[in-house]
Chains A and B, each alone.
Chain A
Amino acid sequence: DTEVTQTPKHLVMGMTNKKSLKCEQHMGHRAMYWYKQKAKKPPELMFVYSYEKLSINESVPSRFSPECPNSSLLNLHLHALQPEDSALYLCASSQEGVLAGGTIEQFFGPGTRLTVL
């Protein structure tokens, strides 16, 4: 299985809602990533999990809360979002990090298109 899956594909939520985005990979990758992408911009890194531990938090507001229940799953919990948080949220995975002698060729899921009203 060489796929990263994400659910849901689309999500519309109000500013007071709580929702979660889910990501799954079965490639045995040990690093998983959340990105946010606005239209016509490159992806912006939000979080990195390595071996199920949070490795990078790019100063993301606390209304975004990541969780890595196991090596195959990555969640992003959303609470009290703002309209400017509307974007495409991409999950990715890679085998290992650079320091392990590998590459970080990242394999991306299809994304969740999030709209905050």
Chain B
Amino acid sequence: ELKVEQNPLFLSMQEGKNYTIYCNYSTTSDRLYWYRQDPGKSLESLFVLLSNGAVKQEGRLMASLDTKARLSTLHITAAVHDLSATYFCAVDGSGGSNYKLTFGKGTLLTVNP
């Protein structure tokens, strides 16, 4: 069974600081997805990482994928309050499943002034 572990689960940081969220998964997969969810809202797709060494950046967020280590990171640079949300990573392809995404538990990020 595919397991996806995120850490930390809770992250409180000050504006202007940098931090990294980690996502480890237990089986081989080339595809990893990052989503953002604001309180009471739906999930928004942030990044799709499709191969080993993939790196994508959007604003203050940068995501990378190391398929050999089965690890993805979401790096936050100079955090601002607007980044406060829950961030989920998800992996597909478990057991040859054509459609199933397995989500991590999520990281609740709070950025304080």
Nearest CB of chain B from residue A32's CB, rounded to whole Å: 10
Count CB-based A-B contacts (< 8 Å).
Answer: 68
**Does any Cβ of B come within 8 Å of A83's Cβ?**
no
A109 contacts across to B, CB distance below 8 A: 42
**Does any Cβ of B come within 8 Å of A60's Cβ?**
no
- Shortest Cβ distance from B43 into A: residue: A108
- Shortest Cβ distance from B44 into A: residue: A108
**Per-residue 0/1 for A11-38: is the Cβ within 8 Å of any B Cβ (1 yes, 0 no)?**
0000000000000000000010100000
Measured in the bound complex, the distance between the Cα atoms of B75 and A97 in whole Å is 28
- Shortest Cβ distance from B93 into A: residue: A98
Measured in the bound complex, the distance between the Cα atoms of B43 and A21 in whole Å is 18
Binding site for A on B (CB under 8 A): 31, 33, 35, 40-45, 48, 50, 88, 92-93, 96-101, 103-106, 108
